[in-house]
Amino acid sequence: MKTTATLAAAALASFAGFAVHAQTMTAEGSNPGSSPLTTIMTLAELASAAGIADFQVQDGQTLTDSLVNVARGTTDVAPVPLIAPFLLSRGAGPYASIGAEGGTELVGKVSALFTVSLGAMGLYAYNSSGVSGWDSLEGKRIINGPPSGGALANARAMIQIIAGLEDGKGYEGVQSNWGQMSQFIADGSGDGMVLPIYFPDDRLTQAAAAGAMTLYSVPREAYESEPFQKYLASPGTVGFEIPVSELPRQEGVTIQSEDEIWRGPATAGAVVVNSEMDFDTAKALTALFLDNLETFETKAPYMRYVLLGAIDAEDTGMCGPNPIKYHPGAVAAWEEAGYTVPDCAKP
């Protein structure tokens, strides 16, 4: 499905103190009800109103593929999970056919404008299921993602670190594609679910219509353990802690934490562009984002919790093993807005 943001009437607009020519740009996003697509659609809407660009947004895309499209110049802007550039630079996972040399070359053609969380990972289960927390997963059927991809890898890693159980040995992992996931959950295909979540989460809302559920935080001891902290420092993953009292309530869903703090890993992502994008356009798009953070946060209830406007490397997943940097135009926009961009994230 293609959605086109309306082109602003002005062919030439002044934004953030410099002139930018309105232009047609292409963008990609994931499925509706997700932070990647909501972020891109909001950016497209604002860019059109500001006369910066007319975005043609293709939704329902696989974001690991979107990264390659941006690198090759066939797409101008896309949100991507930050595990993807790491894997691409090594020719690993979905990029095995590209190889390390080709992947490294492609990664060098991609730069970030700003970061956004692509959701957190959590355990939830129907109260009638027999799953009562991370210590009750042994021998259970656990829905842990689609048949392949980052969500499945993250779920398996979390269960192994927290519960000491391996998929196929300590528990039975079962998978479904995202399009059928809500029905798969409601059908009782698993005793529990370890999946990406938002606050609030449409998938949880749909599932809770079939019965009361509990969402379980990562136990504090497990979260603070050395193995889990190493996991949080891995490419594309950051820690997410927030008082339960600050999270939105969902009908039929109880959040359980031993000390009323929600803890879990968040999937770090970034809105990226080809590194050859001109300085002024990259600066204008980034400044547009920073000047309209409240607009982004109010586009959907969960957008308040996806770490918009974060810049510290610890909160964003930039630096460390992540091979991409901010675009020079983006750095200028962040710094003019009063933020300190980490040196390790600068080109």
227 prior amide bond cis, ω within 30: no
Looking at the DSSP bridge assignments, the partners of residue 274 are 110
* 254 vs 30: CA distance, rounded Å: 28
What's the token pair of residue 26? 């292409």
Determine whether domain 120-266 maps to CATH 3.40.190.10.
yes
Q: What is the pLDDT along the chain (347 residues), one digit of tens a residue?
A: 444 443 333 333 344 444 445 799 999 998 888 999 999 999 999 999 999 999 999 998 889 999 999 999 999 999 999 999 999 999 998 899 999 999 999 999 999 999 999 999 999 999 999 999 999 999 999 999 888 777 888 899 999 999 999 999 999 999 998 878 989 999 999 999 999 999 999 889 889 999 999 999 999 999 999 999 999 999 999 999 999 999 999 999 999 999 999 999 999 999 999 999 999 999 999 999 999 999 999 999 999 999 999 999 999 999 999 999 999 999 999 999 999 999 999 99
Instruction: Please check whether residue 323 is in contact with residue 275, taking contact to mean a CB–CB distance below 8 angstroms.
Output: no
pLDDT for 330: 98
Q: Is-contact 279 328, C-beta < 8 A?
A: yes
Pairing of strands 172-174, 141-143: parallel
Q: Cβ of 71: how many Cβ atoms within 10 Å? A: 23
pTM of the entire predicted model: 0.86
Paired tokens of 261: 């703090």
Residue matched to tokens 């391996």: 166
Amino acid at 293: L
Contact 319, 48 (CB under 8 A): no
* Angle, alpha carbons 213-39-321 (nearest 5°): 85
Which part of the chain has CATH 3.40.190.10?
2-118+268-345, 120-266
Which residue is it, tokens 């956004």? 116
Q: Which residues pair with 20 in a beta bridge?
A: 13
Q: Hey, what are 279's tokens?
A: 């300085």
3-class SS letters over the chain: CEEECCCCCCCEEEECCEEEECEEEEEECCCCCCHHHHHHHHHHHHHHHCCCEEEEEECCCCHHHHHHHHHCCCCCEEEEECHHHHHHHHCCHHHCCCHHHHHHHHHCCEEEEEEEEEEEEEEEEECCCCCCCHHHCCCCEEECCCCCCHHHHHHHHHHHHHHCCCECCCEEEECCCHHHHHHHHHCCCCCEEEEEECCCCHHHHHHHCCCCEEEECCCHHHHCCHHHHHHHCCCCEEEEEEEHHHCCCECCEEEECCCCEEEEEEEEEEEEEECCCCHHHHHHHHHHHHHCHHHHHCCCHHHHHCCCCCCCHHHHCCCCCCCCEECHHHHHHHHHCCCCCCHHHCC
Which amino acid makes up residue 220?
A: R
Cβ-based neighbours of 328, under 8 Å, separated by 6 or more: 111, 279, 282, 347
Beta-carbon contacts of 74 under 8 Å, excluding residues fewer than 6 positions away, are: 26
Please tell me the class of the 2-118+268-345 domain: alpha beta
Q: By C-alpha distance, which of 114, 116, 80, 115 is closest to 287?
A: 114
